[in-house]
């Protein structure tokens, strides 16, 4: 008799195409009734996205970090929040405002805020001069 052991390894299998990212982005725009700035993919392994220079930028590292469409929608909504609120620098108050605006945008498009906010919680980042701690942001979203 042969026994086979299966090892469960935790890794992200939610890798998506940039075309899929654009579809989620378009769904958010359509649900909120506004046109969006261009979405640009940066080939960079850092887990980051940002708004600026007339576009929303998302790093390829971020695409590997998100686990589902809700998390992706939270990132995109957050950056759209920065863009629409004219935030050109990061401060804790700007981050909270972009989180709230992004949650509103993603919710209007049918995405689940608390499911998306799991991404923030996984980061476990402490307070900084530019961003509040992950747990504070997670709870401020009502999760």
Name the band, by pLDDT with cuts 50, 70 and 90, for residue 17. Answer: confident
For residue 6, the model assigns a pLDDT of 38
- pLDDT value of residue 51: 95
Residues 64 and 51: their CA atoms lie apart, in Å, by 19
Q: Does residue 23 surpass a pLDDT of 90?
A: yes
Query: How many whole angstroms separate alpha carbon 61 and alpha carbon 55?
Result: 18
Band (pLDDT 50/70/90 cuts) for residue 53 is confident
Q: What is the mean pLDDT of the chain?
A: 90
Nearest-angstrom CA–CA distance, 132 and 110: 26
Q: What is the pTM of this model?
A: 0.88
């Amino acid at each position: 008799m042969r026994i086979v052991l299966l090892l469960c390894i935790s890794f992200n299998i939610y890798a998506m195409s940039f075309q899929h990212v654009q579809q989620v982005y378009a769904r958010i725009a359509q649900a909120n009734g506004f046109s969006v700035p261009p979405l640009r993919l940066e080939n960079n392994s850092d887990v980051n996205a940002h708004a600026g220079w007339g576009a929303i930028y998302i790093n390829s590292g971020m695409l590997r970090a998100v686990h589902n469409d809700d998390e992706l929608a939270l990132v995109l909504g957050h950056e759209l929040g920065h863009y629409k609120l004219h935030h050109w620098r990061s401060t804790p108050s700007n981050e909270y405002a972009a989180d709230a605006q992004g949650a509103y945008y993603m919710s209007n498009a049918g995405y689940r805020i608390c499911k998306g906010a799991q991404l923030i919680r996984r980061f476990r980042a402490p307070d900084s001069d530019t961003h509040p701690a992950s747990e504070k942001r997670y709870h401020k979203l009502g999760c």
